[in-house]
């Protein structure tokens, strides 16, 4: 194993990802940020220098952070935010492989650009080097004004950071550049390619496809999956924060083919340009600009994504959590999401994990902070999430990949879907249907404070977050690294200066 060093300089820079120029919260001036690559077993040491002018953080989405909960990157839960002009070094080992990503976890900052891919290779992964080449491809919704506190509508969408805004639309203004080239991937006829797809969106699911090329799914959220008849699809639905690896065989006549990432806009108003945002696979140089798409909602068939290595769900359940997700339209007219009646608000200067390590009792903040402790060593945990609102929510659990033992409609505890404990899908982000429920299980083998939240960024802002405090007694006996402690001191003095 190796130690791999990266330096992220966070700075705001004007970019025109879809032709429309706006300030973008970049890593090293890039959107999306640089590709981070490592092998399983490696250590990543990533120094983050914050020049945003605002606090920031970086979360490594899907990485378990075993023994290093304090590098999980969640202000208010696992660290203090990194103040402006301060550097903080994340330092963790990788005991997993697959397709991951990083993003800011400070307020809704990642919507403005701080996202990037993180790929971990493993020569023992069943599809390692089974293709001639591989590519990373991100899809995202995109916004023309820096993130507003209330839910805005996407202005467009980008594939690998490039889109084609309609510069002749009245909203485009005079600075719109109609000549942004779509992201282009060159493939050679007869060869096989692994595409690692990451949805870095703040809001939108996408229907992803490549014209004339079916895609065979081989990985979901870092977990290699078994190829079945269902695994080869024409269109793949990918929800915010989810990842898939797919194999594309370049067996078609030499030409250009569209890669399509259509926003699934069923629940957003038609202010969004409804045309798809395309990119091409290039076999030669000309690009056909006349593509249209059809929007149809569906989710991926679970039979397409069963784990490659048999991985039954834990059966010895020692802790069960029932989470009721509701929408409370409160007096000041701001809709707040609640989990079990409480809307999460981060306390930035006093992260939950540090309070636990200082052996402060968490009983007093348990409720308002949506914190749920469970001490049973190595027991199986079951979470039943009842989504009492009408909208779907992509829920993500930090610190684990979970067994998705059931997805069902209705929110009646007496009428839950049948659990599949034999060969459930294993992943870290799942779309929870509106008015429906999910049941997930995992083993509590990772002491720490782990967020469990909807990955729609404004819903996080509106409190749809729970904190799962896994084995607090054991966790509280660990020693907090000095740099993590120092960050909170720097954070405090930053705010004193600001006042």
Among 64-72, 338-346, 450-458, 477-485, which window interacts with Cu ion (CB under 5 A)?
Answer: 450-458
Identify what 437 binds: ligand C2O, Cu ion, none; CB under 5 to 8 Å per kind: none
Stretch that binds ligand C2O, among 172-180, 341-349, 362-370, 449-457 (CB under 6 A): 449-457
Shortest reach from residue 110's CB to ligand C2O, in Å: 8
Residue 454 interacting partner from ligand C2O, Cu ion, none (CB closer than 5 to 8 Å by kind): Cu ion
Q: Specify the residue, 42 or 457, whose C-beta has the smaller distance to Cu ion.
A: 457
Contact 242, 299 (CB under 8 A): no
Q: Tell me how many residues contact ligand C2O (CB under 6 A).
A: 10
Q: How far apart are CA 247 and CA 187, in angstroms?
A: 12
Alpha-carbon separation of residue 312 from 309, 343, 425 (angstroms): 10, 34, 9
Q: CA nearest 460: which of 85, 57, 168, 28?
A: 57
Q: Token pair 């991100």 is at which residue?
A: 138
Q: Is the CB of residue 202 less than 8 Å from the CB of residue 240?
A: yes
**Which range of residues in 36-44, 126-134, 408-416, 448-456 is near ligand C2O by CB under 6 A?**
448-456
Check: CB of residue 476 under 8 Å from CB of residue 356. Answer: yes
456 binds Cu ion (CB under 5 A): yes
- Distance from C-alpha of 201 to C-alpha of 186, rounded to nearest angstrom: 25
Residue 306 touches which of Cu ion, ligand C2O, none (Cβ within 5-8 Å per kind): none
By the rule CB under 6 A, 411 interacts with ligand C2O: no
What is the footprint of Cu ion within residues 376-435 (CB under 5 A)?
Answer: 393
Q: Note whether 454 binds Cu ion by CB under 5 A.
A: yes
Task: Choose among Cu ion, ligand C2O, none what residue 241 binds, the Cβ cut-off being 5 to 8 Å by kind.
Answer: ligand C2O
Interface segment toward ligand C2O; rule CB under 6 A; list 29-37, 92-100, 386-394, 450-458: 450-458
Q: Please report whether residue 114 would count as binding ligand C2O according to CB under 6 A.
A: no
CB 325 within 8 A of CB 393: yes
Nearest-angstrom CA–CA distance, 103 and 200: 8
Q: How far is the CB of 455 from ligand C2O (least distance, A)?
A: 6
Q: According to the binding rule CB under 6 A, does residue 239 interact with ligand C2O?
A: no
Which residue of 213, 453, 459, 471 would you call a contact of ligand C2O, by CB under 6 A?
453
The per-residue DSSP string of 332-397 comes to TS-EEEEETTB-----TTS-HHHHHHTT--STTTTTTTTEEEE--TT-EEEEEEEE-SSS-EEEEE
**Residue 128 Cβ vs ligand C2O, minimum distance, rounded to whole Å:** 25
- Evaluated on CA atoms 153, 105, 350, 53, the torsion sign reads negative
CA angle 244, 249, 251 (to 5 degrees): 155
- Least gap, CB of 151 to Cu ion (angstroms): 10
Whichever of 103 and 213 has its CB closer to ligand C2O, that residue is: 103
Task: Write the binding mask 240 to 259 for ligand C2O: x where contact by CB under 6 A, - elsewhere.
Answer: -x------------------
Q: Which residues contact 455 (CB under 8 A, 6 or more apart)?
A: 239, 240, 241, 394, 395, 396, 429
Output the smallest distance, CB 58 to ligand C2O, in A.
11
For the four alpha carbons of 13, 59, 482 and 489, in that order, the dihedral sign comes to positive
HSE of 476, CA atoms in CB hemisphere, 13 A: 15
User: Which residues in this chain contact ligand C2O in the complex, by CB under 6 A?
Assistant: 59, 61, 103, 105, 241, 396, 398, 451, 453, 455
User: Which residues in this chain contact Cu ion in the complex, by CB under 5 A?
Assistant: 393, 454, 456, 459
């Amino acid at each position: 194993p190796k130690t791999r060093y990266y330096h992220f300089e966070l700075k705001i820079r004007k970019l025109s990802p879809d032709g429309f120029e706006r300030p973008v919260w970049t890593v090293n001036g890039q959107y999306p940020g640089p590709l981070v690559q490592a092998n399983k077993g490696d250590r990543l040491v990533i120094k983050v220098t914050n020049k945003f002018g605002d606090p920031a953080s970086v979360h490594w989405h899907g990485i378990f952070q075993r023994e290093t909960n304090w590098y999980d990157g969640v202000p208010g839960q696992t660290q203090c935010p990194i103040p402006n002009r301060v550097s903080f070094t994340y330092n963790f080992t990788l005991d997993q492989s697959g397709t991951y990503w990083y993003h800011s976890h400070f307020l809704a900052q990642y919507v403005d650009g701080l996202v990037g891919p993180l790929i971990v290779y493993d020569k023992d992964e069943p599809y390692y080097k089974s293709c001639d080449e591989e590519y990373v491809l991100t899809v995202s919704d995109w916004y023309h004004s820096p993130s507003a506190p209330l839910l805005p509508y996407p202005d467009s969408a980008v594939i690998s950071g490039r889109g084609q805004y309609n510069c002749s639309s009245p909203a485009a203004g005079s600075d719109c550049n109609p000549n942004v080239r779509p992201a282009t991937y060159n493939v050679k006829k007869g060869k096989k390619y692994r595409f690692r797809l990451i949805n870095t969106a703040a809001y939108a699911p996408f229907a992803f496809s490549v014209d004339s090329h079916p895609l065979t799914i081989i990985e979901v959220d870092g977990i290699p999956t078994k190829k079945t008849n269902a695994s080869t699809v024409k269109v793949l639905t990918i929800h915010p924060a989810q990842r898939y690896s797919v194999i594309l065989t370049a067996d078609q006549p030499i030409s250009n083919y569209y890669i399509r990432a259509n926003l699934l806009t069923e629940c957003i108003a038609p202010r969004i340009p409804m045309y798809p945002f395309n990119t091409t696979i290039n076999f030669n140089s000309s690009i056909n600009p006349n593509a249209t798409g059809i929007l149809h909602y569906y989710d991926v068939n679970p039979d397409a994504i069963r784990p490659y290595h048999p991985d039954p769900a834990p059966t010895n359940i020692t802790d069960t959590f029932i989470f009721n997700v509701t929408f409370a339209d409160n007096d000041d007219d701001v809709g707040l999401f609640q989990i079990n009646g409480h809307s999460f608000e981060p306390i930035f200067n006093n992260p939950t994990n540090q309070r636990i390590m200082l052996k402060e009792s968490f009983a007093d903040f348990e409720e308002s902070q949506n914190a749920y402790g469970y001490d049973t060593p190595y027991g199986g945990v079951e979470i039943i999430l009842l989504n009492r609102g009408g909208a779907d929510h992509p829920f993500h659990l930090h610190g684990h990949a979970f067994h998705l033992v059931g997805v069902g409609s209705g929110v009646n505890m007496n009428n839950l879907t049948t659990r599949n404990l034999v060969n459930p899908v294993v992943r870290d982000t799942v779309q929870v249907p509106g008015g429906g429920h999910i049941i997930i299980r995992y083993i509590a083998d990772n002491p720490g404070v782990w967020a469990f939240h909807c990955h729609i960024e404004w819903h996080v802002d509106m409190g749809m977050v729970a904190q799962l405090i896994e084995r607090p007694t054991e966790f509280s006996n660990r020693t907090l690294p000095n740099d993590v402690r120092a960050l909170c001191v720097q954070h405090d003095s930053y705010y004193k200066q600001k006042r």
